[in-house]
Amino acid sequence: MPDALTLSDLHVYHGDICAVRGLDMSCAEGAVTALLGRNGAGKTTTLSAIAGLLGTRQGHVELFGKALGGRKPEAICKLGVGLVPQGRRIFPSLTVQEHLAIAFRRPRHAAERVYDVAAMETLFPRLKERRRQLAGSMSGGEQQMLAIARALVTNPRVLLLDEPAEGLAQQIVAEVAEAISELKRAGLSILLVEHNLPLALRLADTCVILSSGEVVWRGAPHILANDSDLMAQHLGVH
Ligand SMILES: Nc1ncnc2c1ncn2[C@@H]1O[C@H](COP(=O)(O)OP(=O)(O)OP(=O)(O)O)[C@@H](O)[C@H]1O
Ligand SMILES: [Mg+2]
Tell me what the mean pLDDT of segment 110-118 comes to: 85
Mean pLDDT computed over 116-125: 96
The alpha carbon of residue 4 and the mean position of all alpha carbons in its chain are separated, in whole angstroms, by: 13
Whole-number Å distance, alpha carbon 27 to ligand 2 midpoint, is 19
Task: Assess whether the C-beta atom of 96 lies below 6 angstroms from ligand 1.
Answer: no
Decide: 189 and 221 in contact? Cβ < 8 Å: no
pLDDT band at 1 (very low <50, low <70, confident <90, very high): low
Q: Give the mean pLDDT of 99-119.
A: 88
Tell how far the Cα of 131 is from the centroid of ligand 2, in angstroms.
29
**Cβ-based neighbours of 191, under 8 Å, separated by 6 or more:** 5, 27, 33, 35, 47, 50, 158, 159, 160, 161
Ligand 1 centre and the CA of 43: distance in Å?
Answer: 8
Cβ atoms 236, 62 nearer than 8 A? no
Average pLDDT over residues 158-178: 96
Q: At what angle do helices 170-185 and 140-152 cross, to 10 degrees?
A: 10
CA contacts within 13 A on the Cβ side of 176: 29
Across the range 208-221, mean pLDDT stands at: 97
Q: From the CB of 42, is ligand 1 less than 6 Å away?
A: yes
Q: Quick check: CB of 19 below 6 Å from ligand 1? A: yes
Question: To which H or E segment does residue 223 belong?
Answer: helix 221-225
Cβ of 1 below 6 Å from ligand 1: no
Q: Residue 141: pLDDT above 90? A: yes
d(CA 40, CA 20) in angstroms, rounded, equals: 10
Distance CA 164, CA 196 (A): 9
Q: Tell me, using a 6 A CB cutoff, whether residue 45 lines ligand 1.
A: yes
36 pocket-lining for ligand 1 (C-beta < 6 Å)? no
Contact 147, 159 (CB under 8 A): no
Any idea which of 23-32, 110-119, 195-204 has the lowest mean pLDDT?
Answer: 110-119
Residue 191 CA, ligand 1 centroid: distance in Å: 18
The topology (CATH level 3) of 5-235 is Rossmann fold (3.40.50)
Model confidence, pTM: 0.96
